[in-house]
Amino acid sequence: MSELYGIELLRHLSLAFGPTGCEGDVADIIEETISGFADEISRDRKGNVTAVLYGKNHGTESERRFMFSAHMDEVGFMITDINGDGTLKFTNLGGIVPSVLPARRVTVKGSCGEYIPAVIGSKPIHLQEGGERSKADGISSLYIDIGAKDKEDAQKYVSRGDFATFSSDFVRFGHEEKQIKCKALDDRFGCAVECDALRTLSREERGGADIIFAFTVSEEIGKSGAKTAAYRVNPQVAVVLEATAVADNMGLPETSRVAEQGKGPAVSFMDKGTVYGRDMYKAVMETADVHGIPAQPKRFVSGGNDAAHIQRIRGGVHVAAVSAPARYIHTAVDTINADDYESTVSLALALARDADLIIGRLSEQ
């Protein structure tokens, strides 16, 4: 049983290796963290971890189910071939801008079972001509260097289909060290929030509804495991805990800013995958207001998340997206604010405690 909470738990989860399709290490940490707290923990064939706190009405005709969902996978890479000189060809897993890749440290999980330190290489600067120096290399022109002397040497450690991620330190910086940077904060942020909320709720008197915590796979490539998890548990209401890009420090006018760090999680009313029910959006914002928890609307229609998949299962699900305002998302230096972490945990707890009220109100619509 893990004794890590809050930002230290977030550190542990973010540093774990878990690109799309290889989330097992993260799932193991989560199961260890919540073991002994949940009434039921399961892992399905797709790799999702689902934990349940039973409500007082569990197993009765009046059973209600309130679900939280956060994805375990991070953006990363898959090895597609091995060059004659021992360098590795690769493709991206998730939306990564090629310009952030050259000279970046990465970790390869080889078929040998080892975690191999490596770097992403590109055409040497002294061989670049014309406008090449000012042009970002596409992924097809980059390679991963694990230090192998040739192809035969590399094949001892790596095979096609192996995975890689950014290699990044977890660093607190800025005013009162409120800023946090690391890889994979999208969405180990949500996973850590769920773990903290579950363990807190497990010690409290239960309401009528089951509270379900899903830790899902494959969100970053759009092949969401959340659809499978939600279909299994069939919730009436689901809240997706995510990270969202904000660009609040780029000198942009307020009308172009998604949200602002330090002012609480961003709550979506619409994104590229979902139009959120107005009553569900109001329920989240009103809950934050009643309990004095900082929260803000996501002011720009962009991105998408697992809510789009959950909303459409069975007879439909009332969904909300509650996201950490994040800078430099999908890079090795995802950056969030520690106050937003605490606010999101508080909001998740408040929503869970009010689950019966929220489900009842929405059922009347």
Residue 219 falls in the annotated catalytic set: yes
What is the three-class DSSP state of 191? helix
Task: State how far the Cα of 332 lies from the Cα of 100, in Å rounded to an integer.
Answer: 9
- The first and second tokens of residue 116, run together, are 């191999």
> Catalytic residue among 23, 74, 194, 219, which?
219
Interior/surface letters 327-356, b for 16+ CB within 10 angstroms, e for the rest: bbbbbbbbbbbbebbbbbbbbbbbbbbbbb
The b-or-e profile of 214-238 (16+ CB within 10 A means b, else e) is bbbbbbbbeebbbbbbbebbebbbb
Residue 91: how many other CB atoms lie within 10 Å: 12
In the chain, the DSSP E strands lie at 40-43, 49-53, 65-71, 76-82, 88-93, 105-109, 115-121, 143-145, 163-166, 171-173, 179-182, 210-216, 237-245, 266-267, 296-297, 318-326, 334-337
Residue 138: Cβ within 10 Å count = 10
Catalytic residues: 219
